[in-house]
Structure 1
Amino acid sequence: MIEVTLLGTGSPIPDPDRAGPSTLVRAGGQMFLIDCGRGVLQRLAAVGAGAHQLSALLLTHLHSDHIADLGDVLITRWVSTFAPDAPPLPIIGPPGTAEVVDATLKAFGFDIGYRIAHHADLTGPPPVEVHEYTEGPVWEHDDVRIRVAPTDHRPVTPTIAFRIEHGGASVVAAGDTVPCPSLDALAAGAGALVHTVIRKDLIDLLAQQRIRDICDYHSSVQEAAATAARAGVGILILTHYVPAIAAGTEEQWRALAAAEFDRQIELGDDLHRVQVHPGMCVKPTG
């Protein structure tokens, strides 16, 4: 079984009730954080976990809302890991990730220096191990396998989606993207697809062109559901709601998805959990 927790279901627009985009996946005793939007560590604490327990940080792309708390994750893991000679945190993302991680550590350089000067057991900066990929296998440890494929969030490029597999169960985290064949292929036959969504019908009503611009590089609820249907996944898990789901309108969002996808549809607030078991898929139609 793989457990998916929507740690943060928000968007770039600050929301008092929704943290920034981030998803926690637990598989085979391992814990993967997918993206690290604002407030991610508070949400991680709410499920009884901490940065020091992460097996790896997986980044779908380098948009600010998806990496806003990268520094907090790196520093907090460093100062809350008390085992001697702790291994570095694996960070897996698209090309450009290493540059962003280096710049983040440089931005926290004064803080890192203060802590090394104050604590005898901190002898070096936060240990990290960055791996950049656009396609193929990226992780294989203790019966947990992860592979990635490119997605389409242009002009943001490159962007990737992750497929996590364990014990016959599988979960795909799409990140921000429009429908594309590479995501269809990665998600084919998966137990669940975690997909970011926007309501284009609502965004198109807004006066600001800069906000309406987001419609051309995100999937609508219907488009995400159609991707899930083509791939034959068992569960569609919606997240990163733009705009935020207004109280009492949850069934409207569900109905839009159900028009394209006739299996289990999950959406909700931060900390919503979904269990994904082996065999939760159908034959792909794409």
Structure 2
Amino acid sequence: MLGTGTPNADPTRSGPALAITFGGKAYLVDAGPGVVRRAAAAEQKGVPELAQPNLDLIFITHLHSDHTLGLADLMFTPWVLERDHALTLFGPVGSEDMISHLSAAYRTDVEMRLSGLEPANPDGFKVDLTEIGASPLLLDSNGMKVSAIPVLHGSWKHAFGFKFEAGGKIIVVSGDARPSPTLVEAAKGADILVHEVYSDAGWKRREPVWQKYHASFHTSASELAAIAEKAQPKLLVLTHQLYWGTSDEDLVKEIRAAGYDGPVVSAKDLDIFTP
């Protein structure tokens, strides 16, 4: 878990990002603020797949700023640290515009590194981008299969979760989403379901305008209990936690009180889970 945070500026939680590792490769999901340095911390913790030159493949759930503010960092920092090939990115419609603008914003930096004294390579800053279309299958190579899951995230027209299948194991990542049958179906029998959540008790203390917003864009602890009860993952991992005065323990208690008794953990940055 590279980042379990939200737009709230919690210094203990970087912006939303995680990595699935398999076969010596890292498959990143989202690029919240701090993603590159959290990857460096994970490498120091014993995950060599997250060494800087290896950060070359990412799946973006949607284009909210808290999930994408680290993209420029991911494009350029690993290049400076000797990534010698393009970053491969799968993302929703609009990703091409975002990457184009980021590339333009850093054009002077790229020109300086390529034409100055720095021994920079000519490819590592580039992005090989695919906008997610009608086909759910995004990648099927080296024993890893990655599929996009259309999810409901308020008024976003294009938002996705992702399903990773490798080595006989399945990990499903919800992204930001309110409950939907499509996500439940994709998560059935997963070894790990990584899902966003907000506190029911905290939500009740919010102003009505914010209650309406969160109910449309996100998933409450009680709603997540119902999702998990239907999907029956071997492990439910909570992320992107909106507490509003509650705690990790409170979130788990809310899920239990709503009737789900399966394994559940409220994640922190740099937690590692093995299916």
TM over 0.5: yes
State the match for 1:47 in structure 2.
Answer: 42
Runs of at least 4 residues off by over 4 Å: none
Question: How do 1:3-42 residues align onto structure 2 when only pairs under 5 Å count?
Answer: 6-42=1-37
- Deviation at 1:186? 1.6
Per-residue deviation, residues 217-252 of structure 1 (Å, max 9, x unmatched):
100122123222212221111001113775xx3322
Contact 2:178 2:215 in 1 (8 A): no
State the match for 1:251 in structure 2.
Answer: 249
Stretches of structure 1 lacking an aligned partner (at least 5 in a row): 1-5, 277-286
Equivalent residues, number: 266
**Helix, strand or coil: the match of 1:7?**
coil
- Deviation at 1:102? 1.1
Distance (whole Å) between structure 2 residues aligned to residue 263 and residue 65 of structure 1:
30
Report which of the two has the higher share of helix. 2
- Deviation at 1:205? 1.3
| Paired amino acid for 2:12 | D
Computed over aligned residues only, the root mean square deviation of the Cα atoms, in angstroms, reads: 2.0
| Paired amino acid for 1:150 | P
Per-residue deviation, residues 47-90 of structure 1 (Å, max 9, x unmatched):
113342135111000000000110001001221125xxx33221
Distance (whole Å) between structure 1 residues aligned to residue 208 and residue 38 of structure 2:
31
Contact 1:37 1:67 in 2 (8 A): yes
Per-residue deviation, residues 203-223 of structure 1 (Å, max 9, x unmatched):
331348357623321001221
Within the alignment, does 1:102 sit opposite 2:100 as a pair?
Answer: yes
Distance (whole Å) between structure 1 residues aligned to residue 267 and residue 120 of structure 2:
42
Distance (whole Å) between structure 2 residues aligned to residue 194 and residue 40 of structure 1:
17
State the match for 1:222 in structure 2.
Answer: 222
User: Do the aligned partners of residues 90 and 245 (structure 1) sit closer, same or farther apart at CA in structure 2, a change above 3 Å counting?
Assistant: farther
Within the alignment, does 1:113 sit opposite 2:108 as a pair?
Answer: no
State the match for 2:88 in structure 1.
Answer: 90
Question: How do 1:1-286 residues align onto structure 2 when only pairs under 5 Å count?
Answer: 6-48=1-43, 49-81=50-82, 86-118=84-116, 119-123=118-122, 126-134=125-133, 135-207=135-207, 209-210=209-210, 213-243=213-243, 249-258=247-256, 259-276=258-275
- Deviation at 1:22? 0.8
Stretches of structure 2 lacking an aligned partner (at least 5 in a row): 44-49
- Deviation at 1:113? 1.8
**Helix, strand or coil: the match of 1:206?**
coil
User: Do the aligned partners of residues 65 and 193 (structure 1) sit closer, same or farther apart at CA in structure 2, a change above 3 Å counting?
Assistant: same
